[in-house]
Structure 1
Amino acid sequence: MDKIKQVAIVGGVHGNEFSGIYLIKQYQARPELISRASFDCRCVWANPEAHYANKRYLHSDLNRQFKNSDLANPALSNYEQSRAKVLNAELGPKGAAKTDLLIDLHNTTSNMGACLILTQAGPFYNQLAAYVKMVMPEAIISRDEDHFAAEDHALMCTLGRYGVLVEVGPQPQSVLRHDVLDLMDRMTRHILDFVELYNNGTLPELPRQTEAFRYLYSIKLPMNERGERLGMVHKNVQDKDYQPINPGDPIFMLFDGTEICYEGDTTVYPTFINEAAYYDNNLAMSLNEKVTITLD
Structure 2
Amino acid sequence: MPYRARFGRKMECVSLPPLSNFAICGGTHGNELTGVYILREMQKHNVEKVGSVSITTVLSNPRAVDACRRYTDRDLNRCFTDDLLSSPITESTPYELRRAQELNAHLGPKGSEEAVDLLCDMHNTTSNMGLCIIFNSADWLILHICKYLQSKITSMPVRALQMDLPLSEAFSVDSLGKHGFSFEIGPQPHGVLRADVFNTMKEAVDLTIEWLQQFNSGRTFEGGEVEAYTRWKTVHYPRDPTTDEITAAIHPQLQDNDFKLLQPGDPIFLSLSGETVKHEGDALYPVFVNECAYYEQKIAYHLTQKSTLTLPSINVKKD
**TM > 0.5 fold call:** yes
Structure 1's consecutive aligned runs of 4 or more residues displaced over 6 angstroms after TM superposition are none
The question of 1:294 aligning with 2:310 is answered yes
Q: Which region of structure 1 is more displaced relative to structure 2, 94-103 or 14-23?
A: 94-103
Structure with higher RCO (Cα < 8 A, 6+ apart): 2
Alignment partners' CA distance in 1, 2:267 and 2:153: 32
Alignment partners' CA distance in 2, 1:201 and 1:293: 24
Alignment partners' CA distance in 2, 1:93 and 1:263: 43
Match of 1:74 in 2: 88
TM-score by length of 1: 0.94
Alignment partners' CA distance in 2, 1:217 and 1:294: 24
Match of 1:27 in 2: 42
SS of aligned partner of 1:126: helix
Alignment partners' CA distance in 1, 2:281 and 2:159: 23
Q: How does 1:177-256 map to 2 (within 5 A)?
A: 177-205=194-222, 208-226=224-242, 227-256=244-273
Following superposition, the deviation at residue 75 of structure 1 comes to 4.6
The question of 1:173 aligning with 2:190 is answered yes
Conserved 8 A contact 1:6-1:98: no
The question of 1:285 aligning with 2:301 is answered yes
Q: How does 1:1-296 map to 2 (within 5 A)?
A: 1-31=16-46, 35-75=49-89, 77-96=93-112, 97-136=114-153, 138-146=156-164, 148-205=165-222, 208-226=224-242, 227-265=244-282, 267-296=283-312
AA aligned to 1:179 is D
Q: Which region of structure 1 is more displaced relative to structure 2, 131-140 or 106-115?
A: 131-140
AA aligned to 1:73 is S
Alignment partners' CA distance in 2, 1:114 and 1:123: 19
Structure 1: state its 5+ residue gaps.
none
SS of aligned partner of 2:241: coil
Alignment partners' CA distance in 1, 2:236 and 2:208: 33
Following superposition, the deviation at residue 66 of structure 1 comes to 0.4
Percent of paired sites with the same residue: 36
AA aligned to 1:153 is A
Following superposition, the deviation at residue 204 of structure 1 comes to 4.7
Q: Which region of structure 1 is more displaced relative to structure 2, 116-125 or 234-243?
A: 116-125
Alignment partners' CA distance in 2, 1:31 and 1:244: 44
Alignment partners' CA distance in 1, 2:203 and 2:38: 11
Alignment partners' CA distance in 1, 2:138 and 2:276: 38
Following superposition, the deviation at residue 29 of structure 1 comes to 1.7
SS of aligned partner of 2:50: coil
Conserved 8 A contact 1:132-1:139: no
Alignment partners' CA distance in 2, 1:121 and 1:204: 17
Alignment partners' CA distance in 1, 2:220 and 2:184: 24
Alignment partners' CA distance in 1, 2:89 and 2:53: 37
Following superposition, the deviation at residue 205 of structure 1 comes to 3.8
Alignment partners' CA distance in 2, 1:244 and 1:230: 25
Alignment partners' CA distance in 1, 2:132 and 2:42: 20
Following superposition, the deviation at residue 38 of structure 1 comes to 1.5
TM-score by length of 2: 0.87
Alignment partners' CA distance in 2, 1:141 and 1:117: 9
Conserved 8 A contact 2:148-2:211: yes
AA aligned to 1:160 is G
Distance 1:54 1:122, change over 3 A: closer
